[in-house]
Structure 1
Amino acid sequence: MHSIEQLQYLVNKAIADTKYTEQPAELYEPISYLMQLGGKRMRPVLVLIATEIFDGNVLKALDAAIGIELFHNFTLMHDDIMDKAPLRRGKPTVHAKWNESAAILSGDVMFVEAYKLMIKVDDSILREVLAIFSDTASGVCQGQQADMNFEKRDDVSLPEYLEMIRQKTAVLLAGSMQIGALIGGAVPDQANLIYEFGENLGLAFQLQDDILDVYGNPEKFGKQVGGDILSNKKTFMLIKAKELATGNTKSDLDTWLNSSDDPLAKIKAITSIYNLLEVRKLAEIEMEEYVNKALRALDMISVNRSKKDLLRGFAEQLLIREN
């Protein structure tokens, strides 16, 4: 088995070696620019890990892995436009560096390029892989739309929220692993188990993200702490707080949600309400339940335990982020 670092190296090298059509430059340069911004390459690495767990050759899965990363970055490019985000990993976003039209069209081409890489899998699994990839892509878009719809609603329930993050975040992790397992030669029930592992891991990861947005160390978290509070983003923390708050606490929460005059005061006040209602503890319990579901699915996969230990390590690396 390769280490995670070795697989990240393979993915980064393949991305660096990929050459796109040179003309028109405004269409293809943004793709290279965004793909070179880096990141942990979590999703393509999961494709390769899942392939290798079932004794497959990671080099045969590399095209599909890069296809997954292209699709993921396509969603980031379009998300940045919708969010009007000026920066991505500390660099100007594509629409800020070029323009929105260029970013939309380049993103569309990234989606096409992802499919072109995905169809390079063995013919015996091609239909199944494309079905998984297509369902995954639709799910991510549905999750993004639900997230946008939530911005206009004050009555989002926890089941609705959990379904949204399942689609927006978890299905891509799960689909990446299922595709990798099929390339590695896994039988359907085993590929389904690794999908279950990835889906629950993705849900746990997003809940951890909710927690770190409030309580994380900004230097280690890599994002502005309190950003979700300032934007009134529907997260597990906020939905649970609105559900539990009564009396003066409810009034205070409503007042601060409608305030934008003093950002630091708003973050401090709403964090204090979260502390009072102990919603961090509730989020951590929910997160741990999904981690345990993921590990139970992993335990049921019929491969050598030492191979599964790599996935256990990946889960720990993913979830145990310093705060």
Structure 2
Amino acid sequence: MMHSFGELVTKFTSYFNVRHFPMAPSTLYDPCEYFLGLGGKRIRPVMCLMGNELFDKITPDAYHVANAIELFHNFTLIHDDIMDKAPLRRGMQTVHTKFDEPTALLSGDVMMIQAYEYINKVRTNTIHRILTLFNKTAAQVCEGQQLDMDFEKKETVDLDDYIEMIGLKTSVLMAASLQLGAILGGAGDSNAKHLYEFGLNLGIAFQVQDDYLDAFGDPEKFGKQVGGDIVANKKTFLLIHALDVATGAQKEELQNLLKQNEDDKVEKVLAIYRSCGVDEWARSLKEKYVTVAFQHLEDIAVLSVRKKPLKELTSFLVQRDF
């Protein structure tokens, strides 16, 4: 029997909510446990289980790899928070704020090492394929983070370069999570590749939507203030496209607005976005990536009924009133 996306989230969460680290030294390991205790949607490890179940029943190895994926993801978050000087994560203090920066660095390091301990538990002969994909993906996530930091120093960023950065920073881990599960489920190379491309395109669609909702979302529904990216002058899909298509006067006004932090900055930027048709453009860009994702899902050679949970996942990630 196939599990729904929601059932797998529940199953994985109860499996994952154990202590993953030794008791001593508590100054190193308690911050790790504290951070994992902040929760999270656990989407990436569940994608690994879904990738497995698309082809066969879920194996114990899939749970080991799912643990590794979630620990790796949390390691990147601990270090990202240091780089971003972020005081809060999920409404709670970040590790470097609650403890200190050296502790956060070491806790992140040891969390990544623990991820490899879980991969080390894999008992099938696919271990080399698993490790090769996991390592490649881990390096790509670092590349994406570096490109993101590089872009902060640039006046303008090309849309294709931005999409490449998002792919590396966000999408490859989703895509690899699905493909790692597929490998453990006994998928052939062609099916595993289609599933990877499904995840990659879904991840980019998710980021387009995220950028859109930050600007145009309803704060009541999404629980965050509209325009956070605009206040922070973050380069997003919306800003890059607006600078591409704006008239001379609009472009000049937009660039001036980016240099200041007046009370009405968000409203003024949104007005330019609307007059440039950025909102409609973002909707169609998201649809483009969702369509490509679905085409790859369609091309996977398994019974369509087995694909239902992945369609549910797509609805969960990219259909939030947009």
Q: Which band: TM-score by shorter chain? A: over 0.9
**Alpha-carbon contact 2:211-2:238 (below 8 Å) kept:** yes
Q: Structure 1's 220 and 28: CA in aligned 2 closer, same or farther, altered over 3 A?
A: farther
Out of 77-86 and 14-23, give the one that drifted further.
14-23
Question: How many Å apart are 1:268 and its aligned residue?
Answer: 0.8
Length-normalised TM-score, structure 2: 0.97
Q: Which residue of 1 aligns with 2:259?
A: 258
How far, CA to CA, are the matches of 1:152 and 1:230 in structure 2?
17
How far, CA to CA, are the matches of 2:219 and 2:140 in structure 1?
30
Aligned-partner residue type, residue 194 of structure 1 = L
The runs of 5 or more residues in structure 2 that have no matched partner are none
Q: Which residue of 1 aligns with 2:268?
A: 269
Q: Which residue of 2 aligns with 1:300?
A: 299
Q: Which residue of 2 aligns with 1:232?
A: 233
How far, CA to CA, are the matches of 1:178 and 1:14 in structure 2?
21
How far, CA to CA, are the matches of 1:122 and 1:280 in structure 2?
49
How far, CA to CA, are the matches of 2:295 and 2:305 in structure 1?
16
Q: Which residue of 1 aligns with 2:96?
A: 95
Length-normalised TM-score, structure 1: 0.96
SS at match of 1:124: coil
**Alpha-carbon contact 2:171-2:199 (below 8 Å) kept:** yes
How far, CA to CA, are the matches of 2:64 and 2:108 in structure 1?
19
Q: Which residue of 2 aligns with 1:153?
A: 154
Q: Which residue of 2 aligns with 1:314?
A: 313
Q: Structure 1's 247 and 19: CA in aligned 2 closer, same or farther, altered over 3 A?
A: closer
Question: How many Å apart are 1:58 and its aligned residue?
Answer: 4.4
The aligned runs of 1:187-266 (5 Å cut-off) are 187-260=188-261, 262=262, 264-266=263-265
Can you list the C-alpha shifts for 1:155-186, whole angstroms capped at 9, x where unaligned?
A: 21000000000000000000000000011111
**Alpha-carbon contact 1:54-1:181 (below 8 Å) kept:** yes
Can you list the C-alpha shifts for 1:92-121, whole angstroms capped at 9, x where unaligned?
A: 111111011111100001111111112222
How far, CA to CA, are the matches of 1:299 and 1:18 in structure 2?
39
**Alpha-carbon contact 1:121-1:183 (below 8 Å) kept:** no
Can you list the C-alpha shifts for 1:283-309, whole angstroms capped at 9, x where unaligned?
A: 111111110110000001111111112
**Alpha-carbon contact 1:174-1:198 (below 8 Å) kept:** yes
Q: Which residue of 1 aligns with 2:108?
A: 107
Out of 205-214 and 247-256, give the one that drifted further.
247-256
Question: How many Å apart are 1:277 and its aligned residue?
Answer: 0.3
How far, CA to CA, are the matches of 2:7 and 2:311 in structure 1?
17
Question: How many Å apart are 1:250 and its aligned residue?
Answer: 1.5
Aligned-partner residue type, residue 158 of structure 2 = S
Q: Which residue of 1 aligns with 2:5?
A: 4
How far, CA to CA, are the matches of 1:320 and 1:131 in structure 2?
33
**Alpha-carbon contact 2:68-2:114 (below 8 Å) kept:** yes
How far, CA to CA, are the matches of 1:8 and 1:212 in structure 2?
24
Question: How many Å apart are 1:14 and its aligned residue?
Answer: 2.0
SS at match of 2:125: helix
SS at match of 1:18: coil
Aligned-partner residue type, residue 48 of structure 2 = V
Aligned-partner residue type, residue 12 of structure 1 = T
How far, CA to CA, are the matches of 1:12 and 1:317 in structure 2?
17
Aligned-partner residue type, residue 190 of structure 2 = D
Out of 271-280 and 6-15, give the one that drifted further.
6-15
Q: Which residue of 2 aligns with 1:126?
A: 127
**Alpha-carbon contact 1:21-1:28 (below 8 Å) kept:** yes
How far, CA to CA, are the matches of 1:37 and 1:171 in structure 2?
24
Count of residue pairs the alignment pairs up? 321
How far, CA to CA, are the matches of 1:74 and 1:201 in structure 2?
23
Q: Which residue of 2 aligns with 1:71?
A: 72
**Alpha-carbon contact 1:178-1:192 (below 8 Å) kept:** yes
The aligned runs of 1:282-301 (5 Å cut-off) are 282-301=281-300
Q: Does 1:37 align with 2:44?
A: no
**Alpha-carbon contact 1:46-1:180 (below 8 Å) kept:** yes
**Alpha-carbon contact 1:221-1:321 (below 8 Å) kept:** no
SS at match of 1:181: helix
CA RMSD between the two structures = 1.3
How far, CA to CA, are the matches of 1:107 and 1:222 in structure 2?
28
Aligned-partner residue type, residue 103 of structure 1 = A
How far, CA to CA, are the matches of 1:126 and 1:206 in structure 2?
31
